[in-house]
């Protein structure tokens, strides 16, 4: 089962080489920093106190060597740390994208929340690598300092060894509430991002119905909730930092007091006293970094829990591993809807929900019972099933790139969709560059390009869902003729209420509450009041 812990462990294991190398190098940097006061203490005891100039030069060279190791290990160690952190975040981002884009995955949350998961949540979860490296380096520095202090005084070393675990336990207990706060903060941020995405995506519709103020207020409320959650998290982080600062300060006061007493008693030398005081001051850094690991892990764990919830969500559709012939005849059955191979059939649903449900089942976006040429598609590989039964939705997306990359170059498909007119009007024609989602095009232009792409696929079974809702009447009639002509002999379902499209169908099915309640040609069904209300009103 995917959990926050497994997400974080996987992120760290995936970058284990960089994490191990960074840990060793950053630990070397920390130990080199700890060595500075020690070497200075040795210089005082062996060189300054004795007046030995040669010894002084040798130990000054040793100090310079320590600084060379310190600088080199810091440069490469922190570079590897950042690389591991970014690569771990990218790996989590790929997992999120793979879960959403997987044929059976579906999207169990809003698009804006998915953006947040693949963005800030992935970045935060990737910080687990930094937490591991920082913790190992800080512990190494503390252990090195303790060894030096024990060599000078067992009592002083034991004070350090006993105090560090107490500081760590106290920090961990204080960090627990931060996990919940971090998760709540990310959840409200994701919700605000989701609202913003919805507003931007539906901006035309919002302006069309004059709902700008309502949309703005909705986002404002979501944004305020996100701000309130962030401020609450910051208050907790501030309290945590203050509390751990007090604990760390008290610990260092004890270390300094014990060292001072030992120096006064003559138990340790002047150089050892300098080293002890220097180490006591140095220990502030590792202890602060060690206590900072708590909030770091809290934020990473909070985001990892959200990522884990997405990755652990059950698939939207269950499928088998069966295959289909390369070009099946195309006889289709779903519920009580039967279509013979090669038929050109219209489907009129009295409820938009019925139309959407049928399209979802045929697209294998939800579990249903579609049967193709006697083969239950539930036992067929999803990509195979979707290759054989291609569903082109009315809101299908165009991608950034050239027109040709989006639609192909099949002149017959372009003409049947009346997309050739769109291409002729664009500077560059098929080489014209489209923006994201084709936003620079009108709704009708986008719809025709999307239809041309679906027709060019030449699928054994093609399902078109309202392919002409954004085009004018003349263009709609041209498309109806073009689709019927191009798809002659190939199974085609038109889920629509367009009279122009339905008139070219050999048979039309009227669907109510998921069941076929009437069948016949368009001319036959016009006498049915329900059909007339749906199609001609």
Q: Give residue-wise pLDDT tens across range 228-274.
A: 777 777 777 777 777 777 877 787 787 777 777 776 776 766 666 66
pLDDT at 199: 63
Rounded to an integer, what distance in angstroms lies between the CA atom of residue 473 and that of residue 500? 8
Six token digits for residue 483? 């689709």
Mean pLDDT of 161-168: 72
| DSSP label at residue 409 | -
The C-alpha atoms of residue 197 and residue 311 are separated, in whole angstroms, by: 22
Judge whether residue 49 has pLDDT over 60: no
Question: What pLDDT is attached to residue 10?
Answer: 87
Q: What is 4-312's CATH topology?
A: ABC transporter transmembrane region fold (1.20.1560)
pLDDT at 432: 87
| Numbers of helices and strands, H then E, in the chain | 20, 12
Helix (H, G, I), strand (E, B) or coil at 254: helix
Say what the pLDDT of residue 56 is: 66
- pLDDT band at 202; cut points 50, 70, 90: low
Going along 45-102, which residue ranges are E strands? none
Helix, strand, or coil (residue 20): helix
Question: 30 or 258: which carries more pLDDT confidence?
Answer: 30
Task: Kindly tell me if the per-residue pLDDT of 333 is higher than 90.
Answer: yes
The 10s digit of each residue's pLDDT in 67-76 is: 888 889 989 9
Q: Please report, for residues 41, 54, 61, 272, 321, the alpha-carbon distance to residue 47 in angstroms, rounded to integers and kept in the order given.
A: 10, 8, 13, 14, 78
Task: Report the residue count for the chain.
Answer: 537
- pLDDT of residue 354 exceeding 70, the answer is yes
pLDDT, position 253: 80
Give the pLDDT confidence of 458-492 residue by residue, as tens digits. 999 999 999 998 889 999 999 999 999 999 999 99
Q: What pLDDT does residue 104 have?
A: 59
Q: What is the pLDDT of residue 200?
A: 62
Per residue in 321-332, pLDDT (tens digit) is 888 888 899 999
What are the tokens at 499? 């009279």
Residue 437: predicted pLDDT: 75
User: Within 10 Å of residue 314's Cβ, how many Cβ atoms?
Assistant: 10
Mean pLDDT of 366-382: 87
Measuring CA to CA, which residue among 415, 420, 422 is closest to residue 442?
Answer: 422
pLDDT of amino acid 389: 93
- The more confidently predicted of residues 190 and 511 is 511
Measuring CA to CA, how many Å separate 413 from each of 68, 242, 475? 69, 68, 15
Determine contact, residues 418/448, Cβ cutoff 8 Å.
yes
* Two tokens, residue 372: 């193709």
Instruction: Give the model's pLDDT for residue 275.
Output: 67
Give the helix/strand (H/E) hosting 402. strand 401-402
Residues 6+ apart with CB under 8 A from 349: 355, 358, 495, 511, 512, 534
Contact of 196 with 219, CB cutoff 8 Å: yes
Q: Which two tokens stand for residue 468?
A: 């002409």
pLDDT, residue 297, reads: 83
CA dihedral 249, 254, 256, 261 (to 10 degrees): 160
Rounded Cα gap, residues 354 and 443, in angstroms? 24
Q: Tell me the torsion sign for CA atoms 390, 376, 372, 508.
A: negative
pLDDT at 417: 92
> Confidence class of residue 400 from pLDDT cuts 50, 70 and 90?
confident
pTM of the entire structure?
0.63
- Residue from 39, 247, 59, 50 nearest 148 by CA: 39
- Model confidence at 98, pLDDT cuts 50, 70, 90, reads confident
Lowest-confidence region among 53-62, 170-179, 373-382: 170-179
Could you give the residue range(s) of every CATH 3.40.50.300 domain in the chain?
332-535
Over residues 303-322, mean pLDDT: 81
Lowest-pLDDT choice from 105-109, 161-165, 357-361, 446-450: 105-109
Label residue 145 left, alpha or beta by phi (over 0 means left) and psi (-120 to 50 means alpha). alpha
CATH level 2 (architecture), domain 332-535:
3-Layer(aba) Sandwich (3.40)
Pairing of strands 491-495, 461-465: parallel
CA nearest to 98, candidates 320, 307, 321, 303: 307
- Provide the 8-state DSSP code for 380: B
- Whole-number average pLDDT of the chain: 82
Distance CA 216, CA 272 (A): 66
Judge whether residue 187 has pLDDT over 70: no
Span 513-531, average pLDDT:
92
CATH 1.20.1560.10 residue ranges in the chain?
4-312
Higher pLDDT, 246 or 186: 246
Report the SS3 class of residue 152. helix
């Amino acid at each position: 089962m995917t959990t926050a812990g497994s997400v974080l462990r996987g992120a760290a294991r995936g970058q284990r080489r960089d994490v191990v190398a960074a840990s060793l190098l950053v630990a070397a940097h920390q130990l080199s920093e700890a060595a500075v006061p020690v070497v200075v203490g040795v210089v005082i005891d062996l060189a300054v106190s004795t007046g030995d100039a040669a010894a002084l030069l040798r130990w000054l060279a040793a100090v310079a060597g320590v600084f060379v190791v310190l600088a080199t290990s810091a440069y490469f160690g922190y570079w590897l740390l950042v690389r591991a952190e970014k690569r771990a975040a990218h790996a989590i981002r790929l997992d999120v994208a793979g879960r959403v884009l997987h044929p059976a995955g579906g999207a169990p949350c809003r698009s804006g929340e998915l953006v947040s998961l693949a963005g800030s949540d992935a970045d935060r979860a990737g910080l687990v690598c930094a937490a591991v490296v920082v913790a190992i380096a800080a512990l190494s520095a503390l252990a090195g300092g303790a060894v030096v202090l024990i060599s000078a005084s067992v009592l002083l070393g034991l004070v350090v060894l006993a105090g560090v675990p107490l500081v760590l336990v106290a920090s961990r207990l204080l960090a627990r509430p931060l996990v919940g706060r971090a998760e709540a903060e990310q959840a409200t941020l994701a919700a605000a991002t989701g609202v913003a995405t919805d507003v931007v995506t539906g901006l035309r519709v919002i302006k069309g119905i004059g709902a700008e103020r309502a949309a703005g207020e909705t986002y404002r409320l979501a944004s305020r909730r996100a701000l309130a959650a962030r401020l609450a998290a910051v208050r907790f982080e501030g309290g945590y930092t203050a509390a751990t600062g007090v604990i760390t300060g008290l610990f260092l006061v004890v270390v300094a007091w014990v060292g001072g007493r030992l120096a006064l008693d003559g138990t340790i030398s002047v150089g050892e006293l300098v080293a002890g005081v220097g180490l006591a001051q140095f220990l502030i850094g590792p202890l602060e970094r060690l206590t900072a690991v708590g909030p770091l892990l809290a934020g990473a764990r909070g985001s990892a829990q959200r990522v884990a919830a997405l990755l652990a969500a059950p698939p939207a559709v269950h499928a088998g591993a069966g295959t289909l012939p390369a070009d099946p005849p195309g006889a289709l059955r779903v519920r009580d809807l039967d279509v013979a191979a090669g038929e050109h059939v219209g489907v009129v649903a009295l409820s938009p929900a019925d139309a959407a449900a049928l399209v979802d089942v045929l697209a294998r976006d939800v579990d249903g019972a579609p049967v193709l040429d006697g083969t239950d598609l539930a036992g067929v590989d999803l990509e195979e099933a979707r290759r054989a039964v291609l569903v082109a939705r009315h809101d299908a997306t165009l991608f950034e790139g050239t027109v040709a990359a989006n639609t192909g170059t099949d002149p017959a498909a372009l003409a049947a969709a009346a997309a050739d007119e769109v291409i002729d009007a664009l500077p560059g024609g098929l080489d014209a560059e489209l923006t994201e989602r084709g936003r620079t095009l009108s709704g009708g232009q986008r719809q025709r390009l999307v239809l041309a792409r679906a027709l060019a696929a030449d699928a054994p079974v093609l399902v078109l869902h309202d392919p002409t809702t954004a085009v004018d009447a003349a263009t709609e009639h041209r498309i109806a003729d073009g689709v019927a002509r191009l798809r002659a002999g190939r199974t085609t379902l038109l889920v629509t209420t367009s009279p122009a499209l339905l008139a070219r169908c050999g048979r039309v099915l009227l669907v109510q509450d998921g069941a076929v309640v009437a069948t016949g040609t368009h001319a036959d069904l016009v006498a049915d009041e329900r059909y007339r209300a749906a199609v001609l009103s």
